[in-house]
Structure 1
Amino acid sequence: MPTFDRAPSKLSSLLKRQSPLASAHYQRDTLARVALSAIAPHGGDFSTTLSAHGISALTPAKLDIFQINIGKLCNMACRHCHVDSSPDRTQENMSRETVDHCLRALDRTEAQTVDITGGAPELNPHFRYLVDQCVARGKHVIDRCNLTVLLLPTLKDLPEWFSDRGVEIVCSLPHYRQRNTDAQRGDGTFEKSIEALHRLNAVGYGQGDPAQQLTLMSNPVGAFLASNQVKLEQEWKAGLAKYQGVTFDRLITLNNMPISRYLEWLEQSGNLQSYMEVLVNAFNPATVEGLMCRNTLSVSWDGRLFDCDFNQMLELECHPSNPSSAQAPMHIRNFDPDQLAGRQIVTGRHCFGCTAGAGSSCGGALT
């Protein structure tokens, strides 16, 4: 088991606390039970809402992004985490065998981007092997990084290592001010994050070089939608440069998904009903074409296949296109691109999180 510096957040996982919300089935039931007011269109049913806008079902587009969730182990435990990752999630780590299955599957697709996420993906013992194999295949590699992990003694070389390979770093940072960041991610997080950003800047990240792209990702701290991405990027660039001497290339904003520990916070703070109503009432049909579930395949740490990372956390597995195999689990070791291309994307009430307002995807706002 890895050893960590003092974790910025001391919050343990739902699983360790034996919370009912550790169950994906319980989470789905919780969302389904939320009684929305009469002003919520179509009763808050996502499929009915799609139909009302002339969309019979969500189907895949061309596969562009091969996303691999390499594990739930993390050196942090943030209050908003939809993965329920933390230092105590030591069992859910992708094996070398499953990594190799992913690489063989990747070779059978036209996907140009490999999006590696977690947990803190850097803590998986096969992380560097996976990155090197993807780079050798000419893929654009994204590492979804919590920043503080770069300060661990065994990982201090990663900024330069990433730079040598042209890996894009997508860093989660709730806000460019300390109070808002620490409120969501734990005391001390902001200071550690800024130190990590300085290390990335020192090796060339965030200076406008497309081969060393530094992207910051922000989630709202409260129960509201993400703000205008373009305006926030301008504000963040000015604020971080002036007060912290940090530069970055772009900012992406994501709505918080009512899943896992953020769902727990919504319940405990009395915001669940009102937040779900915000999401449902802010449905934007213009976001549907660009939803990440349409051009992305999400692979879990144990090799199961999902339409997106959020479906993965709710254990809503991909449905095969062949009705006769409807009960057969879809797994990376049995990767079949034709079957996946013909599938129907699995949806639920949580999907309003991606279609609300300007939309939300792994690449940020959609409109």
Structure 2
Amino acid sequence: MDFRIDAAFATPLSLFRTSTIPFYPSISHKEQPRCSTNPSTKKFMRRDLQNLDIPSFSEVVQRVSPNNYPLKRRLPKTLQINIGLTCNLACAHCHVDSSPHRSETMSAQVATRLIELVNNTPSIEVVDITGGAPEMHAQFRSLVRAFREMGKSVIDRCNLTVLLLEEQSDLVQFLAHHRVRVVASLPCYTPENVKKQRGNGVFDDSIEALARLNAAGYGRDPSLVLDLVYNPVGTSLPPPQAKLELDYKRELKNAFDIDFTSLICITNMPIKRFADDLIVRGRLEQYVNLLADNFNPGNVANVMCLDMVHVAHDGSFYDCDFNYALDMKLPGPNQDISIRRASGLNVFDIDSLAELGEKRIRTGPHCFGCTAGNGSSCGGILS
């Protein structure tokens, strides 16, 4: 059964479903080549949310939250780094298509440049490292050391099972030594639901990894933050975060003596692997409409991209991890924001991340995922 947010949150889509409202004009899918013989292009076309009968996110914001239109980044406080796509898992909901077969990873040159840029940007408070499984990438530990030496808060977005790999036997100690905040994915406190999303044996391995983190002080020592991430198994919005956190803490403590700091609820994004699953089940448009139907104007002023910039393993910049998954780069010098797959801005094009402030944020239909209901971000709910 689909979870529906209280109607008080929603904006009636009849306001926007008119023949005069175009799809978001700054991301023109008409400019993209459509090669019928290219399998990757066919997959792109199937996944392309621009082809669905849904309102324009940009137009919705302009009409119901005009003070926030157009969305522009403030001085960035968070740098999110996708260090690469290699992962020991291939989760059904993964919006970046990570798996053991992916080889993309950050070079030492890009990592060094990122360290320089953060050092040149006093406004950056948090460095959020994701992947793939970020810990499996060669530059992970050097980045952690460098940013912690600068006094920055560092987040490791961990799938938990990576902690059990033989080559990562000292990883828990490394993270604890550097006081890295661990944000760990555990989509449910029951093995059945975790199996559906992440595969056989993942739940048991995740519990073992959590026990190791607890033994090192994570989730028990206030200076060692261990947050868990919940995302729905199916096509629903997350339930209220505060209540679900109480359920998680009770069930994990009673069944496994596991402690953690807080729970983060994230809405599944209809991008890549999760989009493919929706397409197979004929539910892509239905799910995106669920997100749009539950648009909450109060979330617009709090979306994470306003204070964040995202950088991919190759050094290209994006507004967020979801735009990265959709190849919606920050436009480079003299590039039009409407060109969806422009070459984009790179870490070697700027001297400080502050140069990315006051830039217009690229939006699309997927942005309804961040603004639906209580909102969603890499840090949890927005309202």
TM-score of the alignment, normalized to the shorter chain, above 0.5: yes
Q: Could you tell me whether the CA contact under 8 Å between 1:147 and 1:193 is conserved in 2?
A: yes
Identity %: 42
Q: Could you tell me whether the CA contact under 8 Å between 1:134 and 1:141 is conserved in 2?
A: yes
Query: Is 2:305 aligned against 1:293?
Result: yes
SS in 1 for 2:223: helix
Which amino acid is 2:50 matched to?
A
Q: 1:38 — aligned with what?
A: none
**Deviations 1:140-190, CA, capped at 9 Å, x for gaps:** 000000000000001021111111110000000110010001110001110
Q: Distance in 1 between matches of 2:41 and 2:191?
A: 29
Q: 1:118 — aligned with what?
A: 131
**Which stretches in structure 2 are left out of the alignment for 5+ residues?**
1-37
Which amino acid is 2:286 matched to?
S
Q: Distance in 1 between matches of 2:163 and 2:280?
A: 32
Which amino acid is 1:26 matched to?
M
Q: 1:163 — aligned with what?
A: 176
Q: Could you tell me whether the CA contact under 8 Å between 2:74 and 2:358 is conserved in 1?
A: no
Q: Could you tell me whether the CA contact under 8 Å between 2:232 and 2:238 is conserved in 1?
A: yes
* Superposed displacement of residue 229, structure 1: 0.5
CA-atom RMSD in angstroms: 1.8
Q: Could you tell me whether the CA contact under 8 Å between 1:167 and 1:211 is conserved in 2?
A: no
Which amino acid is 2:45 matched to?
Y
**Which stretches in structure 1 are left out of the alignment for 5+ residues?**
1-17, 36-42
Q: 1:218 — aligned with what?
A: 230
**Deviations 1:263-297, CA, capped at 9 Å, x for gaps:** 00111122212111110010011111111111111
**TM-score normalised to structure 2 length:** 0.85
Query: Is 2:153 aligned against 1:140?
Result: yes
Q: Distance in 1 between matches of 2:354 and 2:174?
A: 36
Q: Could you tell me whether the CA contact under 8 Å between 1:184 and 1:221 is conserved in 2?
A: yes
Q: Could you tell me whether the CA contact under 8 Å between 1:72 and 1:93 is conserved in 2?
A: yes
Which amino acid is 2:60 matched to?
T
Q: Could you tell me whether the CA contact under 8 Å between 1:143 and 1:170 is conserved in 2?
A: yes
Q: Which of residues 18, 21, 32 in structure 1 aligns to 2:50?
A: 32
Q: Distance in 1 between matches of 2:335 and 2:52?
A: 34
Q: Which of residues 331, 351, 358 in structure 1 aligns to 2:367?
A: 351
Q: Distance in 1 between matches of 2:296 and 2:41?
A: 29
Query: Is 2:254 aligned against 1:242?
Result: yes
Which segment is superposed worse, 53-62 or 177-186?
A: 53-62
**Deviations 1:6-50, CA, capped at 9 Å, x for gaps:** xxxxxxxxxxxx964896x5366x211223xxxxxxx42101100
Note closer, same or farther for the CA distance 1:19–1:201 as it changes in structure 2 (3 Å cut): farther
Q: Distance in 1 between matches of 2:236 and 2:39?
A: 25
Which amino acid is 1:167 matched to?
V
Q: 2:70 — aligned with what?
A: 57
SS in 1 for 2:81: strand
Which amino acid is 1:282 matched to?
N
Q: Distance in 2 between matches of 1:186 and 1:86?
A: 12
Note closer, same or farther for the CA distance 1:216–1:21 as it changes in structure 2 (3 Å cut): farther
Q: List, as ranges, runs of 4+ consecutive aligned residues in structure 1 with deviation greater than 6 Å.
A: 324-328
Which runs of structure 2 are paired with 1:1-367 in the superposition (5 Å)? 20=40, 25-26=44-45, 30-35=48-53, 43-53=54-64, 54=66, 55-90=68-103, 92-109=104-121, 110-207=123-220, 209-320=221-332, 323=334, 329-335=344-350, 336-367=352-383
SS in 1 for 2:80: strand
Q: Distance in 1 between matches of 2:208 and 2:335?
A: 54
Q: How many residues align?
A: 338
Note closer, same or farther for the CA distance 1:224–1:19 as it changes in structure 2 (3 Å cut): farther
Note closer, same or farther for the CA distance 1:337–1:167 as it changes in structure 2 (3 Å cut): closer
Note closer, same or farther for the CA distance 1:19–1:250 as it changes in structure 2 (3 Å cut): farther
Which amino acid is 1:33 matched to?
N
SS in 1 for 2:95: coil
